[in-house]
Amino acid sequence: MELPEAVRKGLEDFSRNVLFDQSRTLSKEHGSSLPHDKQVLSSLHLQMSLYFNMWFFPLWWISESVMLNLKYPALPDYYKFILVTVLILMTLIEAIRLFLGYAGNLQEKVPELAGFWLLSILLQFPLILFQLFNEAILIQPLERGVHIVLALLILIQVGMQAVSGFVALRDMVRYTQSQFHLRQYD
């Protein structure tokens, strides 16, 4: 399943401008024992984190739904609406975010990895922090526990993306660019 062309182009532009796409090819210091056309640039640590997140998220969703059902009668009407909306949004965002993370990391696709990073930082992390620190929504102990675990997973993924993932993204962009330049001469 491919991203729509407009979304893909926007993410490519973002990754080209923000991820320091320079017109240098991969230097020998970034090289490996593999030939250039077989070089693996994806992050094992990010993939492991995504794998654990994929298995944890259904547990988070079940516990969040049960806790919301239990505390629903005691909540004010506006918090009822907000929490149901946040649960639906987080479910959709997490599914898209995990798909983009898997596709971007395993297939070494820069736009998908950039989309994963943006969804994590701009949407998912603020929503989980809202649910973790807003005492007016009557946070239950189980909720606090699963929110802390999900927030840590997202924070680890964003941190890995910012450190090793950023380097991997930059290397992917440089490698793709060098392959493009090499193909021009064939």
What residue segments make up the domains of the chain, in order of their start? 43-184
> What residues contact residue 107 under an 8 Å CB cut-off, 6+ apart?
none
pLDDT tens for 147-160 read 999 999 999 988 87
pLDDT tens for 24-75 read 334 444 444 444 555 666 778 889 999 999 999 999 999 999 999 999 999 9
Helix 110-119 vs helix 166-184: angle between axes, to the nearest 10 degrees? 160
Residue 78: predicted pLDDT: 95
- 3-state secondary structure labels for all residues of 28-54: HHHCCCCCHHHCCCCCHHHHHHHHHHH
Q: Where do we find the tokens 């994929």?
A: 54
Are the CB atoms for 173 and 19 separated by under 8 Å?
A: yes
Phi, psi of 42 (to 5 degrees): -75, 165
